[in-house]
Amino acid sequence: MALVAALSQEKFWFDKSKYDDAEAAYYQKSAQVINTPLANEVAKARQQLLEIRNQFPDPLQLPTPTSAPIDTSALKFFEKKMVEFHNVISNFESRFNAIESRLIGLENTLKQTPSECKLSSNVKPVSIPSKVESKKDADDDVDLFGSDSEEENEEAVKIREERLAAYNAKKSKKPQLIAKSNIILDIKPWDDETDMKKMEEEVRKIETDGLIWGAAKLVPLAYGIHKLQISCVVEDDKVSVDWLQEEIEKLEDYVQSIDIAAFNKV
């Protein structure tokens, strides 16, 4: 028992060599190449490429200075033609693919549409009798405005003429409606030093038939600058809004821009 107790207290590692051998075997095994199916396929492909490369003959030897020079222009010409031929083939291939896709789409469309119903050859169109002639004969029998052959009473003719004359006189005295528009204009100056009173005077000097100026006021904008807001009534047949804007824009010393704030029919 004393020997067992002494050994239990001993810290010497008797089996260290076994653990070292196991560790060495582990690292040696992990360092080896793992042959997976994918790695085998890659190795086979690499071997096939090497075999194909070995089948080609040796490359052509460069010409010696004593041999005849190679015509590089001919080589460039053939290379250019090969590129053009390749482009043409690619173009034809793309067009062929497009036509094929369109044909497939048409076939699918025709398959989806229901078949047209065929009319029987025995069915004949039904003819509807026309009543134009009968209506025409009936209309000929009715004379709404009276015939010239009918004799009119002189008194009836006189009364009709008097009524027509009275109607024409009343129609001529009726005033015609004139289309007018009420416009409010925003006229902006160049800066805060522009004389707004002088601007209003120059604007009111624009006169023409069908133009009536109304009230005006100054509306603040920003940084001490005010705009002139003035109203006017124009006759649509006589005064154009574009013409009025152009006339106001001619006042270049005062007017920077002009806008239509409101436009209403009167």
CA quadruple 92, 97, 102, 106: dihedral sign = positive
Tell whether 120 is covered by a domain: no
pLDDT of residue 119: 45
- The average pLDDT across 177-183 equals 85
Rounded Cα gap, residues 208 and 226, in angstroms: 27
Mean pLDDT of 125-143: 51
Would 227 be classed as within a structural domain? Answer: yes
Q: Is 143 within the bounds of a domain?
A: no
Taking CA atoms, 170 is separated from 131, 173, 213, 257, in Å, by 45, 5, 34, 49
Percent of the chain, pLDDT > 70?
Answer: 68
Is 180 in contact with 233 (CB distance < 8 Å)?
yes
pLDDT of residue 152: 57
Rounded mean pLDDT of 177-189?
A: 88
With respect to residue 16, please indicate whether it lies within any of the assigned structural domains.
Answer: no
Classify residue 72: in a domain, yes or no.
no
User: Looking at residue 186, what is its pLDDT?
Assistant: 92
Count of domains for the chain? 1
pLDDT of the residue at 131: 47
Which position has the higher pLDDT, 107 or 250? 250
Q: Where are the alpha helices (DSSP H) in the chain?
A: 2-9, 16-31, 37-55, 72-112, 132-141, 154-173, 196-204, 241-249
What's the pLDDT at 178?
77
Supply the range of the domain harboring residue 199: 180-265
Look at 41-50, 193-202, 215-224 and tell me which has the smallest mean pLDDT.
Answer: 41-50
Domain presence at residue 60: no
Residue 75 has pLDDT above 50, yes or no: yes
Please report the pLDDT score of residue 120 as a whole number. 45
Q: In this predicted structure, what is the pLDDT of residue 154?
A: 82
Tell me, what CATH number does 240's domain have?
3.30.70.60
User: Residue holding tokens 């005006």?
Assistant: 216
Q: Quick one: pLDDT at residue 58? A: 57
Pair 197, 188: CB distance under 8 Å: no
Question: Per the structure block, which two tokens stand in for 2?
Answer: 């004393």
Q: Residue 102 pLDDT > 70, yes or no?
A: yes
**Is residue 112 included in any domain, yes or no?**
no
In a domain, 187, yes or no: yes
